[in-house]
Amino acid sequence: MSLLPFKYLRLRRVLALALLVALSSMLFSTTAFTLVGYYRGFNIYLGEGEDIVAVYDRGSRTPFTGIVPAYLTEAVSRLDGVVAVSPEVIIPCAVRGQPAFLRGIVPDNFLKLNPLTILDGRMFGEQDLNSAIVGVRLAKKLNIKLGDKVLVTGVLVNAWLELKVEGIFYSNSPADDEIVAPLHVGQWLRGLDYNQVTLIRAKVDRRLVSKTSIYEAIAREALEQTQPSGGGRKPSQPTIVPWTRISFHAEDIGVEEAQRFMEGYMERYGVTRESIITLSTIIFLLSSTTIAFSTRTLIVQHERELEVLRSIGSSKKLLKKDMIIKLLPITLASSIAGIAATIVFLNTIIGQGYLQILSHTLTFQPDPTVIALTIILSIALVTASVLKQKL
pLDDT tens, 26-46?
888 888 888 877 777 766 777
270-292 burial code (b ≥16 CB/10 A, e <16): ebebeebbeebbeebeebbeebb
Cα–Cα distances (Å) from 9 to 14, 109, 199, 302, 327, in that order, read: 7, 67, 64, 7, 9
Q: How does strand 196-197 pair with strand 68-69?
A: antiparallel
Judge contact between 118 and 168, C-beta under 8 A.
yes
Rounded Cα–Cα distance for residues 269 and 261 (Å): 14
Rounded Cα–Cα distance for residues 173 and 46 (Å): 9
- pLDDT, greater one: 242 or 117: 117
Q: What is the pLDDT of residue 311?
A: 74
CA torsion, points 314, 318, 323, 326, in degrees to nearest 10? -100
pLDDT tens, 192-246?
988 999 999 999 998 999 989 999 999 988 887 544 444 444 444 445 567 888 8
Q: What angle do CA 346, 347, 348 make, to 5 degrees?
A: 90
φ/ψ bin of 353: left (φ > 0), alpha (ψ from -120 to 50), beta (otherwise): left
Give yes or no for residue 47 having a pLDDT over 80.
no
pLDDT tens, 144-196?
999 999 999 998 889 999 999 999 999 888 888 999 999 999 999 999 988 99
Where does residue 146 rank: exposed (0-12), middle (13-18), buried (19+ CB within 10 A)?
middle
- pLDDT, greater one: 78 or 129: 78
Averaged pLDDT, 321-327? 83
Rounded Cα–Cα distance for residues 140 and 138 (Å): 5
Q: What is the pLDDT of residue 232?
A: 42
Q: Kindly give, in sequence order, each residue whose CB lies less than 8 Å from that of residue 268, ignoring residues fewer than 6 positions away.
A: none
Sign of the Cα torsion 278, 283, 289, 294 reads negative
Q: What angle do CA 212, 85, 234 make, to 5 degrees?
A: 115
CA torsion, points 37, 40, 42, 47, in degrees to nearest 10? -140
Rounded Cα–Cα distance for residues 250 and 252 (Å): 5
CA torsion, points 346, 351, 354, 359, in degrees to nearest 10? 120
